[in-house]
Amino acid sequence: MSTSSVQDPRVALITGSSRGLGAATAKRLARDGFFVVVNYVKSQKDGEAVLQDIRAAGGKGALVQGDVSTVTGIGAFYQRVDAALAAHGLPAKIDVLVANAGILISKPFSETTEADFDALFDANVKGVFFLVQQGLPRLRDNGRVVTLSSGLSRFANPMFTAYSGTKGAIDVITRVLAQELGARGITVNAIAPGAVDTDMNAGWLRSEEGRAMLLSRQAIKQIAVAPDIADAISFLASTDSRWITAQRIEASGGSTL
């Protein structure tokens, strides 16, 4: 997939990878042989823990701080990525970009504020759009872009109206980007998780009632954990997925069929 020299490892950049799905994805791609750029916004300690786990397992990577919810923040983030790669003797090029960073706000439609709406669309849509745009000069031909959608862009939950809207936008952006970038051999796909046992969902999913409700709606009677989604992203990041693009691939255990 990479056009780099045989000495250079493939490079994967995963935003929001200091915890949750992003951390699991960073660790999995490191096991796949990628040099992984781990990103954190505020918790350097969490990011360092992920990088330590990667290195302890024999992988390689770098830790880069950056808030990718604003255009200015994205520009500064990429400058730090370039510097981190240079410090490891690598060119300012990436093979896989996983646009994982995002936020979740759960409120009834009637209680969702303009500030909630703006925060969601800034982080989940605007941030992804310009992350990919500014990453294009660094993304090698035949590379991979993986965006994060959600099961909530298919099935309805009134507690997530604005959030679901951001993921619907990601579905469309993914499809159009696949058409635009296909001439370079770059695939663009969205992974759409269902509910996953992470800190983001801990408030309800780690309760007996929440788990029972989720399992009643799923074909697979298990609660997903972050590595379940990371394994699916690993496939989309690999050469095995070379003929798959513009797809929304749902990894929800068959939720709400």
What is the C-alpha to C-alpha distance for residues 52 and 61, in angstroms, rounded to an integer? 9
What is the C-alpha to C-alpha distance for residues 85 and 189, in angstroms, rounded to an integer? 25
What is the C-alpha to C-alpha distance for residues 160 and 16, in angstroms, rounded to an integer? 21
- The two tokens of residue 25 are 């994805």
What is the C-alpha to C-alpha distance for residues 117 and 230, in angstroms, rounded to an integer? 28
The SS3 of residue 190 is strand
The SS3 of residue 13 is strand
Q: In what order do the strands lie in the sheet with 139-148?
A: 60-65, 35-40, 11-14, 94-99, 139-148, 187-193, 248-251
Catalytic residue among 10, 124, 163, 195, which? 163
What is the C-alpha to C-alpha distance for residues 181 and 158, in angstroms, rounded to an integer? 35
- Which residues make Cβ contacts (< 8 Å) with residue 103, sequence separation at least 6? 119, 120, 123, 124
Q: How far apart are the first and last CA of the chain?
A: 35
Q: Is 163 a catalytic residue?
A: yes
Q: Which residues are catalytic?
A: 163
